[in-house]
Amino acid sequence: MFDKLERSEIVLIAAVSFFSLTGLAGLAFNDPPETRVAIDPVVVSQAPPTSVDPVPEGASWFESVRQHCNAVEVDTYLGWQPAPPSPDGDMHKAACYALAGRIDQARGVIAGMPPGLRSQAAGVVFQVGHPAADAGDDVAAGALMELVVEFWPNHYMALYHAGAARFERGDYEVAEGYLIRFLAEYGLDDGWARNARSMLEKIG
């Protein structure tokens, strides 16, 4: 019996030694080690989608009718192709009337808008008339600029052009008022300011 036990022990010891030498002892007597795979997180950078703001419908409409914004065609053409029924449409409708010299009609459109939008509408009118004024034709743009000042009283460039137009017409009293207001709002010493002071000196 002892011989059998000794032989069994000898066999067991030999087996353990074999597994130890071959690195398989852990597999024979223990659970296999947990396999872990380290994966770095992948950051996908995606640029936000770019969007192009569409041209406001009023501005788009105005560009299509601009050539007809004159004293001869404006009423007829706006009857055929009315402005979009929106605040932006009304602003550009007023600009078209103002460009055509229909100041009363332009004023009526702006006055019919909510108070908070009237100065914005005046700004649209100014942008329409500004190129002519900057080209030196203050007289032609004078009434339009006075309309702008009516709804945007501290618009300094409209004040300047309105004053220059009145000065060229010889209406010095009104010109003086506009030019003094311009200098008060402008606050810079450049060509515009020097021109304004020159006109005021001549008036004085």
What is the tens place of the pLDDT at every residue in 52-101?
A: 445 679 999 999 999 999 999 999 999 999 999 999 999 999 999 999 99
- State residue 9's pLDDT score: 52
Read off the tokens for 137: 């034709």
**pTM assigned to the model:** 0.72
Q: How far is CA 99 from CA 24, 87, 96, 112, 161, in A?
A: 96, 18, 5, 19, 15
pLDDT level of residue 129 (50, 70, 90 thresholds) = confident
Domain positions in the chain are 56-136, 154-204
Mean pLDDT of 23-32: 44
Helix H or strand E segment including 87: helix 87-99
